[in-house]
Amino acid sequence: MSRGGYSTLPSTAPSASLFESYEQQVASASAEITYSISKITALTESERQQSMDNIQRLLEDLKDTLEQMELESRDHSTAERNKYMTRLRSYRTEAKRLEEEFHAVKYPRRSLQQDRMELLGIDGDDQKQNLLKNSERIERGTRRLEAGNKVAIETEELGAEILRDLHEQGETIEKSRQRLRSMNADLGKSSRVLSAMLMRAIQHRIALMLIVLVLIAVAVIVIVVLTQTS
C-alpha cells in the first residue's frame, strides 16, 4: 500500500501490465492533484492547510511511482525500454508542472512594493505620505544629478578647448624653432661666405703690397744705376 491512498499491484503480475498499472496510478494522482489545486483558493484557512498537506503527499507518492516505473522499464528489451522511457519522461514533465502549480498556490507572488511596505511596517495613509516624500527626494536627487552632469559636461568642454589651445601653441612653438634653426643655418652659411671673402681680400691686399714693394725696389735699382752711369 502506498502513502497516497492508492495501492500497487503484486510483483507477480506480468511486466507490461505492471507498468500500465503504474500509468493508471499516475493518471489518477495527477487528476486528483489538479482538482485539489483548482479549488484550494475557495477553502477556509484550516481546509486550505489540510488540502495542501494532502497535495504534498500525493506529489510525493507520484514521484515514488515514477521511480518504480523507471526501475520496471529496465527489465525489458531495448526497444520496449525506450518506449517506456519516452512515456515516463512525459509523466515526469507533467509531475513537474503540477509541482510548480502547487508551489505557485502555496507561495503566491506578491509585488516588490508590497514586500517593502510590509518590511517597513507601513500601511494606509502612511504609505502615500512616504511614497510622496520618496518621490520628492528622488526628484531632487535627479535635479542635482542633472546639474552635476551639466557642470561635468561644461568642464569637459573647457578642458578640451584648453587642450586644443595648448596643442596649437605647441605647433606654433615648434614652427618657431624650425625657423630659428633655419635662420641659424643661413647665418652659418653667410658667416662662412663672409670669412671666405675676407680671406680673399686679405690675400689680394698682401699681393698688392708685394707688387708695390717690387716696384719700389725696381725703381730704386734704376735710380742707383742711372746715378752711377752719370
Task: Say if residue 128's pLDDT is above 90.
Answer: no
What mean pLDDT is predicted for residues 12-22?
Answer: 67
Residue 51 lies in a domain: yes
Residue 203 lies in a domain: no
Residue 38 lies in a domain: yes
- 60 near 29, Cβ under 8 Å? no
Let me know how many helices (H) and strands (E) the chain has, helices first.
5, 0
State the chain's maximal CA–CA distance in angstroms: 181
How much of the chain, in percent, has pLDDT values that exceed 70? 81
What mean pLDDT is predicted for residues 25-44?
Answer: 88
Window from 14-23, 81-90, 122-131, 155-164 with minimum mean pLDDT: 122-131
pLDDT, tens digit, 9 for 90 and up, residues 197-223: 888 888 888 988 889 888 898 888 888
CB contact set of 63 (below 8 Å; sequence gap of 6+): 95
Helix, strand or coil, per DSSP, at residue 122: coil
Instruction: Pick the more confident residue, 51 or 140.
Output: 51
| Cα–Cα dist 209/207, whole Å | 5
Residue 22 lies in a domain: yes
Residue 105 lies in a domain: yes
pLDDT of residue 60: 93
Nearest to 85 by CA among 97, 99, 100, 75: 75
CATH number reported for the structural domain that contains residue 34 in this entry: 1.20.58.400
Task: Taking the CA atoms of 66, 70, 76 and 81 in sequence, report the sign of the dihedral they define.
Answer: positive
Task: Report residue 161 CA to chain centroid gap.
Answer: 31
- 41 near 105, Cβ under 8 Å? yes
Task: Say if residue 137's pLDDT is above 90.
Answer: no
| Cα–Cα dist 109/101, whole Å | 12
pLDDT, tens digit, 9 for 90 and up, residues 144-175: 777 777 877 888 788 888 888 888 888 888 88
pLDDT of residue 9: 38
Task: Say if residue 28's pLDDT is above 60.
Answer: yes
- 30 near 62, Cβ under 8 Å? yes
Residue 85 lies in a domain: yes
What mean pLDDT is predicted for residues 11-36?
Answer: 79
Range of the domain at 53: 15-109
| Cα–Cα dist 66/72, whole Å | 10
pLDDT, tens digit, 9 for 90 and up, residues 66-120: 999 888 888 888 888 888 889 889 999 999 999 998 888 888 765 445 555 555 5
Terminal CA-to-CA distance of the chain, rounded, Å? Answer: 179
- 51 near 43, Cβ under 8 Å? yes
Residue 66 lies in a domain: yes
Instruction: Pick the more confident residue, 180 or 133.
Output: 180
Instruction: Pick the more confident residue, 41 or 96.
Output: 96
Task: Say if residue 140's pLDDT is above 70.
Answer: yes
Q: How confident is the model at residue 61 (pLDDT cuts 50, 70, 90)?
A: very high
Domain count, the chain: 1
Residue 228 lies in a domain: no
Half-sphere exposure of 167 (CA within 13 A, CB side): 6
pLDDT of residue 8: 42
